[in-house]
């Protein structure tokens, strides 16, 4: 069960962040409305929020998940894969030391974004992407192994629509994964029950299981109906403005 989440509200510079989505620029007032509803949802799931100040130096800094990998037995400071975001992880260090007496780090030449890391119980899927390189993935796998976790690699380089692994993958508990069809045939997932969003609803795969609730993005009715049929207690949230910046439900918090 998660007890806490670290969040950082989007600053007025959010519109200047990185994006490959090509679906327009976010409307800042709507960004803030959607963000506050997200925070209310986390509280509804039973989490205590550590709310950081917006960071005027880093327009992407609301996507705090990319700065670290937090588990019950280990915490690893990431090393984001684009130079403009590397300072975000350094600023997260002091925050994390409040909760973790020992903090590991990814070191050069390794790069690693937390959005490429999907925790599935005691196993981790580590995405190798344009942001997380093989060296960073190998470093994380070794650190996780030292804490008693297993892992394997999922190479998503060159796959359209997948900036990060969790852009198309989420753990739903009970050895079940939400996964986009383009990844469903990977050997790493062969022992899991797979739920694939239908064509046109791929963004819905970036859902988020938090204790007794499943957070899902609004606007994907077939996926929402399927999750309800499977017995999940849904919280449906508008994410349109974050999607414009390649963001999703998992990106906006560090949960532990």
Tell me if residue 251 is catalytic.
yes
- 45, 118, 164, 207: which is the annotated catalytic residue? 164
Among candidate residues 45, 118, 207, 251, the one labeled active-site is 251
35 near 79, Cβ under 8 Å?
no
Q: Which helix (H) or strand (E) holds 104?
A: strand 104-105
214: three-class secondary structure by DSSP: strand
User: Is 164 labeled as catalytic in the residue annotation?
Assistant: yes
**Distance (Å, whole) CA 110 – CA 133:** 6
Q: How many residues does the chain have?
A: 256
In whole angstroms, what is the distance from residue 110 CA to residue 97 CA? 22
Angle at the Cα of 93 from the Cα atoms of 91 and 95, rounded to 5 degrees: 90
Active site residues: 164, 251
């Amino acid at each position: 069960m998660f007890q806490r989440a670290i969040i950082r509200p989007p600053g007025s510079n959010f519109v200047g962040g990185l994006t490959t989505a090509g679906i327009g620029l976010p409307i800042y007032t709507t960004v803030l409305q959607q963000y506050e509803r997200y925070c209310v949802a986390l509280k509804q799931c039973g989490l205590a929020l550590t709310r950081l100040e917006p960071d005027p130096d880093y327009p992407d800094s609301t996507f705090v998940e990319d700065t670290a990998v937090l588990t019950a037995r280990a915490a690893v400071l990431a090393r984001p894969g684009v130079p403009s975001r590397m300072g975000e992880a350094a600023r997260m260090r002091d925050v994390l030391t409040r909760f973790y007496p020992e903090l590991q780090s990814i070191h050069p030449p390794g790069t690693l974004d937390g959005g490429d890391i999907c925790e599935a119980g005691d196993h981790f899927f580590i995405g190798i992407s344009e942001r997380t390189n093989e060296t960073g993935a190998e470093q994380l796998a070794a650190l996780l192994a030292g804490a008693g976790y297993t892992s394997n690699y999922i190479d998503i380089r060159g796959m359209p629509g997948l900036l990060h692994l969790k852009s198309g993958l989420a753990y739903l508990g009970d050895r079940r994964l939400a996964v986009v069809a383009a990844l469903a045939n990977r050997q790493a997932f062969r022992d899991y029950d797979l739920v694939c969003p239908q064509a046109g609803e791929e963004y819905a795969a970036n859902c988020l299981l938090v204790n007794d609730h499943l957070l899902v993005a609004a606007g994907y009715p077939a996926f929402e109906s399927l999750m309800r049929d499977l017995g999940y207690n849904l919280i449906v949230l508008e994410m349109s403005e974050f999607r414009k910046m390649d963001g999703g439900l998992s990106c906006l918090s560090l949960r532990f």
